[in-house]
Amino acid sequence: MRKLIIPGLGAFALLAGLWSIGMGAAPDTDPVVSSSIGVAGKLAGGAAFTVSNIEAGTTCRVERGERLTHRRLRFTARDSCEDVYAGLSRAATWTDTGDGTAVVTDASGAVILAFVQSDGLAYEVLDPPSPAITMRATD
């Protein structure tokens, strides 16, 4: 009986070893794409806005760039933005607070402007309080 059991166990171990070699292959992926997965451009957070100072009659273009952390994105403003609001051209980051408010800060973390979402694609300045400064999404 031993003569049958020991070779049988050896053959079983050999077959199990050969079968496990094929187990390292990656499983097939599901071809269904969930709508919760954003496209590359949207996932990065990239967007362009026009900031307007209604009292001064000036506008400039700002851009929200790639994601830096969970809520922070790179933010750039052109030199002409200094005419719209003092210090805006030094903007470095956009922080989404999660309650509809976006805080724009400089490289040292000092708050330049805080915006709150308004109707549609527009934002209004929350801090410092000024009804004259608005921001609207552009192409």
Task: Locate all alpha helices (DSSP H) within the chain, ordered by sequence.
Answer: 2-21, 40-44
Six-digit token pair at 82? Answer: 């200094």
Q: Express each pLDDT in 28-51 by its tens digit.
A: 665 665 554 444 434 345 789 999
Which pTM does this prediction carry? 0.63
Six-digit token pair at 128? Answer: 């410092």
| Cα dihedral across residues 29, 31, 37, 43: positive or negative | positive
pLDDT at residue number 42: 42
Mean of the per-residue pLDDT values of the chain: 80
> Please, what are the domains in the chain?
41-138 (2.40.128)
pLDDT at residue number 68: 92
Q: Express each pLDDT in 66-79 by its tens digit.
A: 999 999 999 999 99
**Phi and psi dihedrals of 95, rounded to 5?**
-115, 120
